Structure 1
């Protein structure tokens, strides 16, 4: 049975402020939760370092927390639209945590798992924003050290959700976290490679050195994966993958996807040179090269050539390979990079080339429109239409797009999925929990609750029941009481000493039996009685089989044991002992009962009537039934008497005497 323990942090309040609502993801160094900032009433993400990542020694733990705090302060000062903002930091139960901006969307890893690979305009749109974030960190003196798809978040775009990747906002997370954990690991465990081997730079493998060019290499591997749907190296062990980065050049993406243009091969090749000195100096330099590459891809000749190659190639998993440069002016203002020009602050009145004031021209236009009756009607109609649009928009966002959540609690998983599908809702599943009342795989909790307002086609989170929590009684026979008690405590069971008894095989103080028996499933907190051995008993039972009952009684009485007799049919002589329990050699204490199986003797045989028969005939009849015959007086006479008498019950083989005259 696969036993999962509920996450104890769910529902807890951290630092008197952050209420943990749900678990988002669990990585190698930390777990991320969604939480409500009860002070500011907003949803945030809380990242808590795993206990295994924090040093065990108290002095080293203090140093780790100091480094973690310093890194958190540095990250918090890193303000950029493509960087996940850090709001707060602290410790909870001795474990450091960060409070960060909650980004609604998916990780790049989840996008790639769904799409396998991206077309070039999507890949470069994401890559530019990644580099913009990393470049801001490099300018602030930070090196990410763990650039990978899991640390790249693709936020929902107003123009079409995460499916519209060109307009999606990309945010990079975990700046400086690997550095703080790595510094702690160096003190406690020696130099360890705190990076993901699929994206690790060669210099990190060989000498543990990291600078902005290390992030450039990892970013180049991420671009390679977005374009090809796979990482360049794999192996049976992580160390084999890491050393391939040292010993081999990253292949050109077009070797795996032939339709890709050479400019993308050059871009990946420049970023993933094994020699750090041959790479762009930092993410900002690589970003400039990416923007030049996008301009090249936007060239009509290049675009036509790529389109022709796509047409000539056989179908693949993603046939859309059209590369269209997205110029800064075409990106929505909320998604522009800092270098795009972005929205300007402050106002100034635009002046056309002829020098006429724009405001004056607008006033003149209004005067001309309002002077004409049809113009006034058009303006009135436009106002009415805008009013209707505003009203309908208000109704839609306030009421129209909502419905009520269905009742899914207590339904089975299959029933809930069918009902949600019929109503057009999407289901996600939280960590399941044990429950004594709700059967396994039935819905225990739903969020939002039934009859609560929810957007049509929205998402409902279900918590399924694992059923009653049960633990099998472990096999503790042969263990000392203390060890058996510890084994039971680990399974939330309570050990109780039962009555001890003698045992020929196990020494005193050792468990010889349990109640309930080993393997029986019991509730958490159930009591398990442990029966302990008193060692070998002082009296050894003698061998009584084959002896008469009288001899057996005398032998047992001398040893202070009590015979208990049970007669049974047997062809053995009457009162002969046929069996015993306990067997001979078994240790018992004085006063113990010894059960004896005693023979009733052979079954009796009925003597037939032979009186008045000729003596030879009577003798022949008796002998045929197994009776020996003794004849008195005249052997050829008539039988006048017999002993035993007719119809007497006698043991087989009893002699019959005949009197013949």
Structure 2
């Protein structure tokens, strides 16, 4: 168990001013202590970076400290009642620290651990103050990047205690700290995503990009958790949880807590869109939607306050319905209300006759105002203010709120989205169109056009190119010409007849082939030539396989067909027909060619030299090669001549004559 006894910082004096008294909490990047500012005699909170964070950044410590200092200065200038104030910054033993306002209370994480989930009116009251703080940061150019319950402090309300969460004071901490630590590791390979994966926005997971809409997404997840008592996604590994934000939509809270108003489902859905362009542009925009939802729920006031205790997720899911606590009208907490104006005491005047008629009363009022020097100055000041308001309003609606649209035509979709994002514009897409010159997924047109006036942060509609339009030639083989013509015409192609030819399988008048071939991609309006069948040809090719070449030639000549002969190696006798094309029975026209595969005969045997060998030895050698021997003269003599001669190539079984003396 972690104990304060083991913490060497307890009792330490930082910068000769801040005496560490106790440890409050320990997070992933830093530890928070309570300390006494001995110079001003007040209790403060000190957040000091873990030694592990400093060790990892030791090689780049100078840059890290510079970034940390810059972030601390920026946060210190951020003054808002819902932001934890930063008083000072420094280093102790090489570890950077921040001195902040000490908030008496608990974190929202502690509240959720105790209550599990909050009533809608409590959740919306906390969201209002959270978003007010984050909106102030967004206006100052800061993005929190790590919005989560651990960074939301629920302080004691002026009325005392934190039991009434609607009137509690909410403060947001750790602005810029995640960015300072992450920026110090941008030059290092393998830098990790600083945002907590349960609340991380999809664009931070996919490309590490963040802006004000990233905080809007995380705030939406916090609202989901306050309403349901759980985060939308879980997994065995952090990376699994992170990618669920990319691949899945956040479920509606009412699917987990039946009976929640539809307005809360819509609010969570708007804030947690996976596409950043579909979310509210910043925390201020989301705050307006939260206040509107709270107004609507408060005005409706149709729910009865019947709450059942819930001990775990299983029992919560087992209840078929749940009545939701009455939603109170949207009000500022008591600590944040403006003072009511005091009623004016009437001045005693001498009784005068009341003017008769409205015109008379107006004339009397004008006389009374213009007769008093202070009245005349007031009228003049009012006219000046009214003129300024009219001028500023005219300038704003005429020029001030406008900028010029960027040039996006010709860019790829990714390039256009990047440029629009840098300019703060929202993109919408019209139906894509085909174009012969502009490649696929490039911007074809934009509305408004480039350099045209557009409201800052306005919407630009893009039409993307589908690239050149190409159509596949439909399969019309085997169809009558009329049907084939209709199919090709419906496919926006031009039909042309291209003659006819015989076909053994297709009757006369049907399509045999097309040019280009079936399936070929062509431009709309391209010409497709169809070739029709003339039916089966009048001459039937005879079966010639196994016949002698001379017989085959004679048979083909009788039918008026032309043989085309190709010799091939085979064990069959020489000039025997091995194969034919077209096959037997195929219909052809007179004068058509018939290809014949003709056997070259069995392989030739080379006659060895046996001259000067003993007659019997020569006989054995020749017979071993399949050559019969005819011996002349003396069988026991020596071979003096042979026929065929040595190295002659003869068919197997050719007799060889040898003369022995």
TM-score normalized by the length of structure 1? 0.49
Higher Cα Rg: structure 1 or 2?
2
TM-score normalized by the length of structure 2? 0.49
